[in-house]
Amino acid sequence: MYFFSELQEKKVLDKHGRLVGKLQDIAVKWGHGFPRSESLRVYRTRRGRRETAVVPWEWVSSLSRDGVTLSCERDAVWKSEFQPEGLWLGRNLLDRQIVDLNGYKVVRVNDLRLAESNSHLTLTGVDVSQRALLRRLGLERMVRAVARLGIDIPERTIPWNFVAPLEVSQAGLRLTVTQSQLGEMHPTDLADILEQLDAGQRGRLLDLLDAFTAAQSLSEVEPEMQAEVIEGLAETRASNLLEIMPPDEAADILGHLPRDKAERLLNMMGVKEAKLIRDLLGYAEDTAGGKMTPEFLAVLSSYTAGECIDFLRSKAPDAETLYYVYVVDDEGRLKGVVSLRDLLTVDPEERVEEFMRRDVISVNLDDDQEAVAEVMARYNLLALPVVDDDNLLKGIITVDDVIDVLREEVMEDLSYLGGLELAEAGLATSLRSRLPSLAVTLLGGSLCALVLMLFEGRPIPLVSLAFFIPLVLRAAQDVGLVSQAVILERLGGVEASVKEVARLAWREFRLVFLISCGLAFLGGAAAFLWRGYLRLGLVLGFTLLSSIPLGGMLGMIFALVSQRVTGELHFVQARLSGFLMSLTSLAIYLGLATALLSGHAP
């Protein structure tokens, strides 16, 4: 077994042992099974010029890691006019991207594994490990020495039958991932591959897929990347894919495109599909209307169970889901809902309005997406109807859409607590989103320094007090941030009544107060035992007892305010609340020290 890097640049000798040149590359014959060596390219440098020659593999008499020996004269090599038709390993595969059909990843070829069989070399796999790079740098001995110390750098070789080059082009030869290889993949796996490619490669890969499979795969791509993929496609191809996709997903993508680009794509679609998408684009993205799909199944209340089943057979392919069948009147108002189980178990002649559930759980077009998620979770629904103010059924929201909503809201809450947008894109956007919170941090540090300066001339032991300043600053801040997170999690963006908020705040405050009592006792005792100075222990204990509940209250207040305020406050609330907690804790600490320690040396 050889690696291509072990043979490249090795000496090539003729049958008399004379130096012909060095091995530059090996060509393999592409076909069914594993590629087999067909020729090799030799090079030499004469009078400052590089010369190359290609000889058939049949001229190779022996092969080793020290070099290649040919069965011909040296002059015959440089007179050879052999024209290879195979694939060059070094030029066409090494350092190129390939698709790992087993792991569904795009990986880089760092080396190539070759096996000797019937006087030929067979390409058996590709090495994508870091060890292959070290081998190519001539550091294989170092890797072996490190391995003896128990630090192993493993090889990772993918068998050739699980490999597909993304694209290889040369005269008379063009190899790509084939449609049959892609057709065996799940759309989610194809989406993983698409996300790892650049714009040009994505387009070429999507061109190999039929429109339906391409649309399915695009639906599984991360939302922030879908618009980027569409922008990289020809407009005709992009409009076809968007037309096939569910309208709600197509609307989400178009909503992230420039307005003129989105309008051109809509104008290229069918009238019916374009109208559905335009209607969805009219709703705010974070509302029920923006998340719903207009592809649902609804029957008239006058239908019988048998007529309803016949209707489902004809309309099911166009529906988003078949979890529930909604019942409407002649004007499209939502009247009830039936399940498939109900339809299959009742008399086929029984009218739907006689066995439908009339207390339908629904949401309004303008309801916030978090409220929608809360309703679906509370009632364990797989789909939720969306109605307007007149109770006209406009669409449904399915459970997979709610999962996306929950993920968005979790990321949003983490962004608020972290003081930045986690879904940042680009250096300028990242810098702009972090500047407000960093500015608050700088302001807070400056004001804390100012507070210390104000107490600089007071007759208090600042050196002894300084040892406990980190505890004073962090205790209230950490407890307050936890309270802030608890409020955000419990409310979950839902409009709660004043009574519910008060009950939640009182429960959290009681817990924070108990924590402050415990920390005040332990901190005060530690300060007393450290210096044997009772007054210092009292200062620290009373500080923690008052500052920690105050920090918890500030955290809860900021969480409640942030629920009702939009804009930059969301992304500075954690830093702003933390800065106020630290500032007030430091002021309380130094104020108590002035009151209890002035004129009393430890």
Q: What percent of the chain has pLDDT over 90?
A: 13
pLDDT band at 424 (very low <50, low <70, confident <90, very high): very low
Report how far residue 415's alpha carbon sits from residue 235's, in angstroms, rounded to the nearest whole number: 35
Q: 437, 368, 433: which is closest to 405 by C-alpha?
A: 368
Long-range contacts of 495-498 (CB under 8 A, 24+ apart): 495/371
Q: What is the mean pLDDT of residues 41-64?
A: 90
* Least confident segment among 113-127, 198-212, 403-417: 403-417
* Least confident segment among 374-383, 443-452, 484-493: 484-493
Q: How far is residue 287 from each of residues 278, 282, 455, measured CA to CA in Å?
A: 16, 11, 52
8 Å CB contact between 296 and 396: yes
Scored b (16 or more CB within 10 A) or e, 92-113 reads: bbbeeebbbbeebebbebbbbb
Question: Burial level of 537, CB count in 10 A (0-12/13-18/19+)?
Answer: buried
Q: What is the mean pLDDT of residues 563-573?
A: 53
Q: What is the mean pLDDT of residues 282-310?
A: 88
Q: 482, 473, 545: which is closest to 516 by C-alpha?
A: 545
Q: What percent of the chain has pLDDT over 70?
A: 81
DSSP 3-state of 506: helix
Q: What is the mean pLDDT of residues 441-451?
A: 73
Residue 396 has pLDDT above 80, yes or no: yes
Report how far residue 328's alpha carbon sits from residue 537's, in angstroms, rounded to the nearest whole number: 72
Report how far residue 464's alpha carbon sits from residue 477's, in angstroms, rounded to the nearest whole number: 22
8 Å CB contact between 79 and 20: no
pLDDT of residue 265: 92
Q: What are the tens digits of pLDDT across the range 7-18?
A: 889 999 999 899
Q: 493, 461, 458: which is closest to 368 by C-alpha?
A: 493
pLDDT of residue 429: 56
The total of other beta-carbon atoms located within 10 Å of residue 317's CB is 6
- Count helices and strands (H / E) in the chain: 25, 22
pLDDT of residue 574: 61
8 Å CB contact between 40 and 54: yes
8 Å CB contact between 316 and 322: yes
Q: 525, 553, 539: which is closest to 586 by C-alpha?
A: 539
Q: 550, 554, 517, 531: which is closest to 468 by C-alpha?
A: 531
Collect all residues with Cβ–Cβ distance below 8 Å to 602 and sequence separation of at least 6. Answer: 461, 464, 531, 533, 535, 536
Q: What are the tens digits of pLDDT across the range 230-243?
A: 888 888 989 999 99
Q: What is the mean pLDDT of residues 415-429?
A: 52
pLDDT band at 166 (very low <50, low <70, confident <90, very high): low
Q: What is the mean pLDDT of residues 451-469?
A: 73
Residue-averaged pLDDT of the chain: 80
Report how far residue 507's alpha carbon sits from residue 44's, in angstroms, rounded to the nearest whole number: 83
What is the pTM for the complete model shown?
0.56
Q: 94, 101, 96: which is closest to 5 by C-alpha?
A: 94
8 Å CB contact between 413 and 489: yes
8 Å CB contact between 356 and 338: yes
DSSP 3-state of 474: helix
Strand ordering across the sheet containing 334-339: 298-300, 324-328, 334-339
User: Which domains occur in the chain, in start order?
Assistant: 2-163 (2.30.30.240), 179-282 (1.25.60.10), 298-398 (3.10.580.10), 427-597 (1.10.357.20)
Most confident of 7-16, 83-92, 220-229, 487-496: 7-16
Residue with the bigger pLDDT between 117 and 13: it is: 13
Q: What are the tens digits of pLDDT across the range 496-534?
A: 667 777 888 888 888 888 988 988 898 888 888 877 778
